[in-house]
Amino acid sequence: MLILPAKISFLEKLHMISVVLGSIGYFIYGLFAIRLQGGGRKGYTLSTASSYYVRNLFARSSLRKLQWFLPSTHQAYNQFASLWRFKPVTHTFPDGSMGHWMGNKAAKQIIVYLHGGGYMVPATLAHMKWVYDAHRELTKAGTDTSAIILSYQLTPHRQYPLQLQQAVNLVKHVIEVEGLTPSQIILAGDSAGGNLTLAVISHLMHPHPDVPELKLAEPFRGILLISPWIAFDYVEPIAKEYRWDMLSAPGLRETSAAFIGPAPPDNYNEPVRAPPSWWEPLRQVTSSVYIYCGGSEMLRPSIEKIAQAMSDSVNLTINIVPGATHVSTIVDCIVPFNKGVDKESIAWLKAQGEKTEV
């Protein structure tokens, strides 16, 4: 059963609206300060200022208010389908999670996408646009590609390991019901969705006792991680290069506590804990991993650490984009004058599509 966020009072609604409007001031400040003080990617000032806006919006609000203000993943998907004029197709699972389709279900390749948001906020139109652009670019390049986006249940109403259970059920559905083989699947996720993607991989290598069994007859075609959130213990960085990032150390600590609840940190929910030996069976899960990382995001050190731990076990590509902040390739998709999905991610996805298809 899907649990909806608690209703908020009229005064709380007014406060949230004032926070949203007030945060616009941070966006405007960012536009000028980034140019004067430096930072961010050259030519992407709007994206960097947008990240700074999100940072301040989250810092000045509460989880309850954010969940009231933002449309659900299901609503965002339907809004996006209406804007881009395609028929929405949604599969609802018994546990209340959903899978939202883009493209032809009979396509030769599928992106199974796990969205970010700290497990506390739903997928946004930016997530929808990234997935939609990727599916269209790949199809245009000659590899007919569909996508399915998981709408999992959010914290604090539902906590770890439920989201992992729901992600595993989605993968099983794609294979057992939709009839795709693992070699047709690219498993992808950003931020918390990257955390969830790595949890699915860990479950395949080292089955979690509280999660449904998942066995692959063959490896996935590829794994794509966008700014994966893989560590819980952060201190506020002093380095100026991180000052425009959308993430903050206090926010990450609060988010991780809401996610794991009473459960202790482990290799599934905090992947950076896992030693290199944990990843040794990775080649049985996939032959290729791609990681997108912002050069100016505070998660960068932990992302570099896990990339190093995984690198001996699989063909791994890490793209550290100078000046980019957290999930900037997602933000770029809805910021005017930007080109959307970064060309390096698309190039990697196209290369996977060129592999021998079933």
| Catalytic residue list | 191
Task: Count CB neighbours of 22 within 10 A.
Answer: 12
Asked if 204 and 283 count as a contact pair (C-beta separation under 8 A), the reply is no
User: Which pairs from 205-211 meet CB under 8 Å and 24+ separation?
Assistant: 205/278, 205/279, 205/281, 205/282, 205/284, 205/285, 206/267, 206/278, 208/161, 208/164, 208/268, 210/161, 210/165, 211/161, 211/164, 211/165, 211/168
Among the residues of 206-289, which ranges form H helices?
249-260
Peptide bond into 122 cis (omega under 30): no
Element (H, E) at 160: none
> How far is it, in rounded angstroms, from Cα 345 to Cα 70?
28
| Beta pairing class for 145-151 and 109-114 | parallel
- Amino acid 177 reads V
* Phi, psi (rounded to 5 degrees) for 328: -60, -30
> How far is it, in rounded angstroms, from Cα 232 to Cα 222?
26
The side-by-side arrangement of strands in the sheet containing 288-294 is: 89-92, 98-102, 145-151, 109-114, 185-190, 222-226, 288-294, 315-321
> How far is it, in rounded angstroms, from Cα 70 to Cα 73?
9
